[in-house]
Amino acid sequence: MFYAGLALNGLAIGCVAALAAVGLLATYRVTGVFNIAFGAIAVFSAYVMWQCVRVWRMPVGVAAIVVLGLVAPGIGLLLERSVYRPLRRSGASGLLVATLGVLVLQLGLVFLLWGGRSYVNAPSLLPAGDVLLPGGSLRLPYATIVELGLVAVVAAGLTVLLKATRIGLMVRAVVDDRDLAAAASVPADALAAGGWAFGAFLAGLAGVLWAPIYHLDPYSLTLTVLETMGVAVLARLTSLPVAVGAALAIGIAQTELTAVHPAVRWQGVVDALRTNLFVAVLFVALMVVPRLGIRESGAVGAGLHRVGARRISRSDWVARLPLGAASLVLGLPFFFDPADLRAALAVPALAVVFVSLVVATGYAGQISLGQAGYAGLGALFMAKLAGGGVPWLVAVFLGPLLVVPVGWLTGYPAIHRRGLYLALTTFATAAVVARFVFAQPVFVGGLVVARPPGFVDDHWFYGLEVACLVLALLVVRSLHTGPLGRALVALRDSEAAAVSAGIDVRRMKVFVFACAAGLAGLGGALTASAAQAFNPTDFDPVQGLVWFAAVAVWGVDSAVGAMVGAAALVAVDVGTVVGVSGLAIGVGAVLLGRFPGGIAGLVGRLADRAGAASVPSVASGSSLSPVSSNPDPPRRLSPAGRAVAARVRERRTG
């Protein structure tokens, strides 16, 4: 049945979702960048609003002017000027990782400034009270009237601006071909700055309006705002009316579900669907919508891998630095005191999860933002098996094996998706798992996680974790060498070339997702065992975004870099205040477009230079003959080659 009173209540939720979706579409339509950091901008603005009103005692109206008129648009302008414009001008790629870096950076600021605390007293901008509708039985809140007016004005104004004005024509020219538009004297930078400022304003508005409804919490509110991406997906990132209509319909449906009372055994499912309808729509939309209007979808993950092949010997001391560092950080905790060792127990488990990202993204080029969901499933399956009487040493490996079929099934969407579309699909998978499994007492209630006999002591358990990590590295090595490794590299570099080489790309993609899911499940099982508890917040989808950014910073195609990165992340979290690690990861991810390959790539380039410098030169007086220093005989130059060489010699002697 349809209840008009419930529908009016749902309009409030739908209006805020519509504003968030319009902000996403506005930024994308003007700049061509899908801003995943949208949720973090909303959360940061909401926290600043709380600070202004609850701590500094500003009037709500003055605080709204400060936050929505200065802070939120200022964030957009700062990001466009300092992050996205340099990436565009330098020709560097990696915009996806840059947006993730901005998200992690702003969440780090929230944790650093406010300690990541949740607040239930977020101030409200909207007026209280309601108005009696004709008929005398229904009342419409003033807040809903204001929100409907905001949505109508913003959507209509933006539609007219983009379709019926000269500014809209210039925007379309810039998005289609920025260089050509600049040659025609179109102010591309000014238009992009305006788009980012307006999008950040709408993000801040959505965060400030939603904070009183869903409470002020860094991860929870960020995920709530990100779930509205499903509305943008339904609109295929092009249609503002469709986005607004879909958001209002979902908001109404969410409140209408409160009146649905099925049999007792199904009531939990209905309640979960009611509270998480937006994330369900996000997942279904990504499964149903065959194609999005995403530009540069094949390049959003570029810049993650190292450039050039290594040409140095294994005996080079620089080449041994990463492996030596990894061995050192894994070996030192054996000599820690009990308090420090307890914190170090998180390192090998997190390293296994990071290594799973190396398999999926570094070796196969498939951007996966859903590893947190696989890790949590591995922990949940392990706890269920161990609680059901299965020996722990069996459950810790059998649980991750049960995650492999889940990775296999969720890997099928990757067959026809790449780049940003694939990233959104994997993130939606993790969000669905978090909302419909980890947040439901029927699945996680009453779980007891204990270590097996003989490994209760932290030193012994840490040794077991290191052994599992070594086993995971052996699996990764088998995937990176031989014909299988060459096939994965071909898949990462060019799917078309891989198909022409006879590689079954469809099967290879699903296989990679299954392997990565199993490894992430093992890391999750070790995480829960180390803590001796299943904590759903450890596997939050937003936490998975932080993990991906961290692996990208350390080198997404380096298993050793992933291990060092996991140790560094845990050490910074333990040794400093909360939020510093997010700041460091965010800054590194933002700079990744200018330094391909991350820290591992930088070490590799240093090794290349050191290796080149260590090769003796005949011209510098080396006793080596030309034959011994270069066993390959010189090649004969063509006439054109000899002419070029002659011109080069003339310029040098000039």
Given a contact cutoff of 8 angstroms between Cβ atoms, the answer to whether 95 and 302 are in contact is no
Phi-psi group of 597: left, alpha or beta (phi > 0 → left; psi -120 to 50 → alpha; rest → beta):
left
Given pLDDT bands bounded at 50, 70 and 90, which one contains residue 322? low
247-292 pLDDT, tens per residue?
999 999 998 888 888 877 777 778 888 888 999 999 888 888 766 6
Which of 12, 429, 437 shows the shortest CA–CA distance to 230? Answer: 429
Cα–Cα distance, 580 to 598 (Å, whole number): 19
532, 449 in Cβ contact below 8 A? yes
Judged against a pLDDT cut of 70, whether residue 23 lies above it is answered with yes
Rounded Cα gap, residues 90 and 96, in angstroms: 16
pLDDT band for 579, please (50, 70, 90 cuts).
confident
**pLDDT tens track for 592-648:** 877 777 787 777 777 667 666 655 544 444 333 333 334 444 444 444 445 445 544
For the chain, the distance separating the N- and C-terminal CA atoms, rounded to the nearest angstrom, is 89
* Greater pLDDT, 87 or 45: 45
Note the residue count of the chain.
654
Residue 293: its pLDDT value, please?
Answer: 56
pLDDT tens digits along 91-107: 555 678 888 999 999 99
Mean pLDDT of 128-149: 85
Higher-pLDDT residue of 76, 301: 76
Q: Rounded to whole angstroms, how far apart are CA atoms 559 and 323?
A: 10
pLDDT of 653 reads 55
Lowest-confidence region among 29-33, 345-349, 524-528: 29-33
> Could you tell me the residue ranges of all domains in the chain?
4-118+137-276, 321-606
Q: Does 321-606 carry CATH code 1.10.3470?
A: yes
Q: Is the pLDDT of residue 79 over 70?
A: yes
Quick one: pLDDT at residue 308? 41
Q: Which residues pair with 545 in a beta bridge?
A: none
* Average pLDDT of the segment spanning 147-169: 89
